[in-house]
Amino acid sequence: MRSSKSVPRVGKMVAAVILVIVAAILAFGSAYSITEQEQAVVTTFGKAKTVSEPGLHFKIPFIQQVQKVDTTIKGFPIGYSSATEYIEEESLMITNDFNFVNVDFFVEYKVSDPVKALFASEEPVAILKNLAQSSIRSVVGSFDVDSVITTGKGEIQAKIKEMIVEKLEEHDIGIQLINITIQDAEPPTDEVMEAFKQVETAKQGKDTAINNANKYKNEKMPEAEAKIDQILKDAQAQKEARINEAEGQAARFNAMYEEYRKNPLITKQRMFYEAMEELLPDMEVILDSTDTGVQKILPLDSLVGESDKE
């Protein structure tokens, strides 16, 4: 039989062990650490508080609860799986010109408010994906198939991002959209895909032709501008020459008119003789006045020629 004295000793040892265990639990349960890529949400009697400073922190055991949130940028695909295979129910869409197209995206996001990310909704990432899919179909459906596959990808991405950001602000679930990009866009069949490749090739040929035309234009433009400048200068010179000539003729006419006003008869006779001299420069004439008062003009050359022949 054990002595009565051993019983109290055993009880003390058990109590001491229990105290040590409780102390260890309290010690380990009251401390937590946060890395630079994390934030913690500490709840006290249901009231949440965000702790964002990295390092070692303490809490009240059993009263305060800590949930850590990863604040790094994460992402998920829409329209394809990790094996780069299309998920048709996500990727297949219809454009505004009633064509089908497979489009897949990659969404990048991060937690902007840890408290809201934990308590505003049960699955904030799932909500983000649903909002993204809704925005994608709305925007893609407003473009024609040619823009979706070739030239309009940048504009489509920008409009989708803007729409998702607006919807996230309305839902306020503590998630921030970083970026959304089109990974691939192509028709659902090989024949249609080949047709679009031919369209893209034709567009590249068009761009090449336009570039060549612009190059030719830039080469010929200086020469054409020089010719235009020379033509304008020649026209200006002719204009000034014509003006000077006209002004000279006007001045001569005015001077002649002044002489005419002084001696009308003499001026008319002189003008007549000058005109005849200009019209018949090689013809010699004599003037013969008779008693009848009629003035006669006789060609001397014909008379002289006949007398010489005789």
Any idea where the domains of the chain sit in the sequence? 6-70, 74-188
Q: Which two tokens stand for residue 126?
A: 């799932």
Tell me: the pLDDT tens digits for 214-243?
A: 888 888 888 888 888 889 888 888 888 889
Q: Where are the beta strands (DSSP E) in the chain?
A: 31-34, 38-44, 47-51, 55-58, 64-70, 74-78, 92-94, 100-111, 175-186, 285-289, 295-299
Of 72 and 257, the one with more pLDDT: 72
Q: Are 130 and 99 in contact (CB under 8 A)?
A: no
Nearest-angstrom CA–CA distance, 186 and 92? 10
Amino acid at 173: I
Taking residues 260-275, what's their average pLDDT? 76
For residue 75, list its beta bridge partners. 108
Residue 1: pLDDT band with limits 50, 70, 90: very low
Tell me: the pLDDT tens digits for 64-95?
A: 888 889 999 999 999 988 666 778 888 888 89
Q: Are 92 and 70 in contact (CB under 8 A)?
A: no
Taking residues 133-144, what's their average pLDDT? 94
Q: What is the DSSP letter of 72?
A: S
pLDDT at position 309 over 50: no
pLDDT of residue 244: 87
Global confidence as pTM: 0.55
Strands 47-51 and 38-44: antiparallel
> Which CATH homologous superfamily contains domain 74-188?
Band 7 domain (3.30.479.30)
Q: Which two tokens stand for residue 226?
A: 């020089």
pLDDT at position 304 over 50: no
Least confident piece of the model among 71-85, 197-211, 238-252 = 197-211
Nearest-angstrom CA–CA distance, 78 and 130? 10
